[in-house]
Amino acid sequence: MHLMYTLDASGNRVYTVKKVVAGKPSKSAHPARFSPDDKFSRHRVTIKKR
């Protein structure tokens, strides 16, 4: 059981533990795992600083 979220009509996150809410799949509320072998980290950091 993981924390998931869906977006309501105004764009705010609504948190739930269900995989499907009102026929729409929900998204994970947790960030992706960190990998020290990440080949694209420099690219993401440069994009984020812009």
Chain CA centroid to CA 31, Å: 6
Query: Domains in the chain and their CATH numbers?
Result: 1-31 (4.10.80)
- Please state the pTM of the whole predicted model: 0.59
User: What was the pLDDT predicted at 36?
Assistant: 80
Q: pLDDT in tens for each of the 50 residues of the chain?
A: 689 999 999 999 999 999 988 888 999 999 888 788 888 888 988 998 88
Residues 6+ apart with CB under 8 A from 22: 6
Report the 3 state secondary structure along 5-50: EEECCCCCEEEECCCEECCEECEECCCCCCCCCCCCHHHHHHHHHC
User: What was the pLDDT predicted at 33?
Assistant: 82
